[in-house]
């Protein structure tokens, strides 16, 4: 799979609010599928698992089985890769602009 195909999967996974909510639930610590199902009790278990599967396919969630439990962990690396590709260059330009503004402000006399 090409890197552009992988990025497409990430954007598609992030397009659904419920999947972003699932990622929010995982950002502080890994959770079992059962815990996620309990947290999103308006959805049935099958639906929650389908959303987790989409996140896994995009590389945003890493799941591992431990005994009878399936632990889901957030993997923020694909989002960082998107940031580095599209946002990072613009962010560094903004930081440079702020640095120039600060420098310009420091050279302006206080009574001006």
Q: Please compute the mean of the pLDDT values over residues 9-21 and round it to a whole number.
A: 97
| pLDDT score, position 92 | 74
Q: Angle at Cα 90 formed by Cα 87 and Cα 95, nearest 5°?
A: 120
Return the domain boundaries, the chain: 1-75, 77-106
Structure tokens at 71: 């632990």
> Residue 1 carries which DSSP code?
-
Q: Please compute the mean of the pLDDT values over residues 52-60 and round it to a whole number.
A: 98
Is residue 50 within 8 Å of residue 44, measured between CB atoms? no
**Residue 109: pLDDT above 70?**
yes
The CATH class that applies to domain 1-75 reads: mainly alpha
Q: For residue range 69-91, what is the model confidence (pLDDT) as tens digits?
A: 999 999 999 999 988 888 777 77
Higher pLDDT, 51 or 81: 51
| pLDDT score, position 89 | 76
This prediction's pTM: 0.78
Residue 40: phi, psi to the nearest 5? Answer: -105, 60
**Residue 53: pLDDT above 90?**
yes
Query: How would residue 112 be classed by pLDDT, with cut points 50, 70 and 90?
Result: low
**Residue 36: pLDDT above 70?**
yes
Task: Give the whole-angstrom CA distance, residue 89 versus residue 85.
Answer: 8
């Amino acid at each position: 799979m090409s890197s552009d195909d992988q990025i497409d999967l990430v954007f598609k996974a992030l397009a659904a609010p419920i999947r972003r909510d699932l990622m929010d639930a995982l950002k502080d610590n890994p959770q079992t599928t059962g815990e996620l199902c309990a947290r999103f009790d308006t959805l049935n278990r099958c639906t929650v698992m389908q959303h987790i599967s989409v996140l896994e396919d995009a590389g945003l969630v890493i799941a591992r089985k431990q005994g009878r439990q399936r632990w889901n962990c957030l993997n923020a690396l694909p989002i960082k890769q998107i940031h580095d590709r599209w946002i990072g260059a613009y962010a560094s330009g903004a930081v440079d602009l702020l640095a120039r503004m600060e420098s310009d402000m420091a050279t302006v006399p206080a009574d001006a």
